[in-house]
Structure 1
Amino acid sequence: MNKDKGKAKATGEPYKVPSYKNVVGKTPEQLRKEALKATPKENKLRDDAYAIAVSSNMTNEFVYPYLPISTIWIAPIELKYAHLAANEAAKFYLQEFADPFLYPKDYNFYYAILDSTGSVEFDYVNRTGGEWAYSKAFFKKVITPQQWNGDLYRFRELPKYRKEQNKFWFNYFDYIKAWDGAFCYENRQRKHSWFFQFRDFDQSSPLPQWFLMWFNNWGFHPITLPDKIRTIYDDFIKTNASLKTPGLMFAILYQVPWIMKWDVIISKMPLRKFGEIVHNIPYLGRRILIKWWDKFDFFAENSVFSQKGLINLEPLPPPPSPKKDITEILRELLASSSKSDLKAQLKEILQESDSDTEDTDMASLKSDLMQDSQDSYDV
């Protein structure tokens, strides 16, 4: 293990990412030999952790497993690497476990964006050797395109996040990428996990569409809820029938945490042309897995649910206007008008009434004359 790398992690300073040119300059055969040097412990796949079942231990407490909810497809891989285990093949395409489309920036860059904008509050727990065992991310706000104030390509200066850095800049599209790139960290044992939670989240502006896509990939899903809380969730949906993203709003309003981890998989992606499959390409993907945090007491005395109960976001119907009788209307009219004004108003009303009566009588007379003229031609 690189001692300098471990030292930098232990002191809380991000280490320098190896040069991209050094990686690209190596031949595929050299990269493959380096990948095969990995220890059996590093290469072991923990499939038992991904079982889709809930088992019970000796204390009759539920053990909540990681459930795969989505896959983020990264890049197609060459056939000569397709026979390797996914974590071995990933070494040829991922540097520091980040996506190739994020280069030459690393997850420290994207972490700094979310941290400096006040969007996410981070906390890390170190393991022996300086690597992160697990991390915490508390979501505070999401900057919308309207809040960026102007051109989305307009750059802002990023506060110093590396020792050797002088100045760095980011625009709104870097900010969007940060919500993926900041969570690409993985330790060498491939056991790193994230604690996610919306805490004091700013809901003053509607969430942008790209964030809804992000939550669909990385976010909480009701499939992980215990039975008692799932009942509350179902009631929440019924009460707020117009919500298009009930899972997201449930997580925000009740500050529901979830545990997330990811691994890499290889799957064949069918290429279709005119509805027919013309080829199957092996594709490298990042599989997102989440689980319920069993230490979270949804019904605790200080919990949101205990304080607010079932939250109703539906707009309340307008209250019916009280009906007034003629006596009350006349009293209000007398109280708000002088005698002279009241006489003038009554005179005007009576004149309109007489005019309406005359018009009605005239219309009735014309109708009778017309009827008589028609009767005279009847045989």
Structure 2
Amino acid sequence: YPDWHYYNNHAQKTPTFYEFILVDTDSIKINPKSDPKNPGLITHTSVFIQKILTLSKWGQNPHYYKQFTASFDLPIYNYFDYMDTWKNTFLFQNIEDRHSWFFCFDKTFKKQTIPYWFIDRCFFYGPNKEILPPPIIEAFNTFTKHSESLALCPTMLSFFIHCKLLWTMYWDYVIEETPQTIPSLYRQFCTKWWNKYDLSKCTSETILISLK
């Protein structure tokens, strides 16, 4: 399907369908921004993660359907759709291939058991130690030493949840060519630290105070 960047055999499971699932379940707050010179071109989108529903929080068989609270072309979705939405939603790309995502765990996000399937999806666009500036690495090491780990949650993700840190993600297609083989087309994800962050808000000292 045009403008879709994921495989799907259901014509009504559009990018908007997946985004609406996250909004309708209060899992995220989303705020797209357009180019001032071209209002129809979305250049970046901010996402504040409010919660990630586990199957127990879902409250019913994963195959059973729920209805959207507002009218929509495809009015129902199940837990498997909810799982897919955490990847497919963030595969949006504009026509100029220069869209960026800004991610942050919302201040309302509460520590919880993170579903393993989310860790698998977050691997592509989640934060990693390589993007951290030196002062934040020091704070991360302090956090690792003095905090209790969350079940199935990588320490890095737990750190970003605790400190409400923001990171950015951009993706694009890459063609890999090697001699005597068919060229390969794949997605390349690039995550970065948000350089406008006030580093004084996340230090070893502030970490120790927040963990008391």
TM-score range (shorter-chain normalised) is 0.7 to 0.9
> Which has a greater percent of strand?
2
Q: For residues 109 and 96 of structure 1, what CA distance do their matches in structure 2 show?
A: 14
Taking a change above 3 Å as real, the CA distance of residues 281 and 177 of structure 1, as seen in their structure-2 partners, is: farther
2:44 counterpart residue number: 134
2:77 is aligned with 1:170: yes
2:54 counterpart residue number: 144
For 1:110, the aligned partner's letter is Y
2:196 is aligned with 1:295: yes
2:7 is aligned with 1:106: no
2:178 is aligned with 1:286: no
Residues 108 and 161, structure 1, Cα contact 8 Å, conserved in 2: no
2:24 counterpart residue number: 116
Instruction: Give aligned-pair identity as a percent.
Output: 27
| Superposition misfits of 4+ residues, deviation over 6 angstroms | 303-306
Counting only pairs closer than 5 Å after superposition, residues 213-292 of structure 1 correspond to structure 2 as: 213-240=120-147, 245-267=154-176, 282-292=183-193
* TM-score of the aligned structures, taking structure 2 as reference length: 0.85
Aligned length: 206
Q: For residues 268 and 150 of structure 1, what CA distance do their matches in structure 2 show?
A: 47
Residues 142 and 207, structure 1, Cα contact 8 Å, conserved in 2: yes
Counting only pairs closer than 5 Å after superposition, residues 10-159 of structure 1 correspond to structure 2 as: 20=1, 95-101=2-8, 103-104=10-11, 105-127=13-35, 128-159=38-69
* TM-score of the aligned structures, taking structure 1 as reference length: 0.49
Residues 201 and 252, structure 1, Cα contact 8 Å, conserved in 2: no
Counting only pairs closer than 5 Å after superposition, residues 182-201 of structure 1 correspond to structure 2 as: 182-201=89-108
Taking a change above 3 Å as real, the CA distance of residues 170 and 304 of structure 1, as seen in their structure-2 partners, is: farther
Shift, 1:97, TM fit:
3.9
Question: Which residues of structure 2 form unaligned runs of 5+?
Answer: none
Q: For residues 59 and 110 of structure 2, what CA distance do their matches in structure 1 show?
A: 18
Taking a change above 3 Å as real, the CA distance of residues 106 and 161 of structure 1, as seen in their structure-2 partners, is: farther
Let me know the Cα RMSD of the aligned residues: 2.8
Taking a change above 3 Å as real, the CA distance of residues 205 and 282 of structure 1, as seen in their structure-2 partners, is: same
> Which has a greater percent of helix?
1
Taking a change above 3 Å as real, the CA distance of residues 201 and 219 of structure 1, as seen in their structure-2 partners, is: farther
User: What SS does structure 1 have at the residue aligned with 2:85?
Assistant: helix
User: What SS does structure 2 have at the residue aligned with 1:231?
Assistant: helix
Q: For residues 175 and 304 of structure 1, what CA distance do their matches in structure 2 show?
A: 35
Q: For residues 297 and 193 of structure 1, what CA distance do their matches in structure 2 show?
A: 21
Shift, 1:204, TM fit:
5.3
Shift, 1:181, TM fit:
1.3
Taking a change above 3 Å as real, the CA distance of residues 99 and 311 of structure 1, as seen in their structure-2 partners, is: same
Equivalent residue in structure 2 for 1:309, among 205, 208, 211? 208
